[in-house]
Amino acid sequence: MTDFSIIMPCYNAEDTLGRAITSVLAQSHTSWELICVNDGSQDDTAARLSEWEQAEPNIRVIHTKNRGPSVARNLGAATAAGKVLCFLDADDIWEPYKLAQLFALFKDPKIGGAFGEISFFETPDQEITRSTVPNGPLTIPMLMGENPVCTMSNFSLRAKHFHDCGGLAAGLVHNEDLEWLIRLVGMGVEIHPIADRHVWYRTSRGGLSADLIAMAKSRRVALRTALYFGHRPKAAQEAIYLRYLARRALRLQDGAETARRFALKGLKQNPAAFLWPPRRGVATAVAALAAPNLPTQIKRSLLS
């Protein structure tokens, strides 16, 4: 049986999917299959995927109508043969040791899911900033603040848990991963961090993650799931989430005003939570409130 099934939704990804696939081929752990789900792309994505499928026996391609990344991931998972499901977006890049570290971690039968650190980039190998991971397993209060998983490219899960929880919510375009993670943790799945970089995450104004206002609105669905498991959002968690959005906005070319609005709202919710720790909170506040007048390099240094 294959150790890992890697599911990669692809939509108009002709320019980036080659680097993503190459990062899978470079894995030191070799028991894997890559399932690429072409989500109704209008560019040459289908042709590029066909070339990869013909060249590499471990790659399979599924073509479907454009129904969004959640449906594409669920479809890929339904056909997966691996013990563990991993996810990779077509514009992100994995470190070559990622699967090897996951294989070692999943030897512990209590561990149901895993994630690592990520580096944000605009051009490959040029790190803008790097995430951190908590000291222990994910909790719902943690997820209601600043989600340390950050992207589906950074998440792996035993296949049985995916099927037990029903997969991702098909109707969500933003925060579908957050709602799903809250559901998994609420159902008792232990999701553990690995303190090493696993993913290079591409920041782009054209990507879905750039629509930060829609992300804020769709979070309400995730909060309803948290409430089902007995967790109400606190002002501190709201402030931390708004800080997260402000930091995301600051990485965008035209995100200065959006970052300022998120920062002001977060400081109003709970200034202590927004500003702590100072290296993250104070730096974000300074960068967001002064963003229109700050050179790009200074903003990036405040976010590093």
CA–CA distances in Å: residue 188 to residues 106, 113, 128, 164: 16, 11, 35, 11
pLDDT at 27: 99
The DSSP line for 24-63 is HHT-S---EEEEEEEES-SSSHHHHHHHHHHH-TTEEEEE
- The pTM for the full model equals 0.91
Number of C-beta neighbours around residue 99 at 10 A: 24
8 Å CB contact between 5 and 75: no
CA distance 68 to 62: 14
Please give the CATH number for the structural domain made up of 4-212.
Answer: 3.90.550.10
pLDDT in tens, 187-218: 999 999 999 999 999 876 544 445 777 888 88
Structure tokens at 119: 């580096």
pLDDT in tens, 287-302: 998 866 666 666 566 6
Q: Which of 127, 128, 132, 100 is nearest to 116 (CA)?
A: 132
pLDDT in tens, 112-134: 999 999 998 877 767 778 889 99
Q: What percent of the chain has pLDDT over 90?
A: 74
Structure tokens at 278: 């100072």
Return the domain boundaries, the chain.
4-212, 234-303
**Using 50, 70 and 90 to split pLDDT, how confident is the model at 258?**
confident
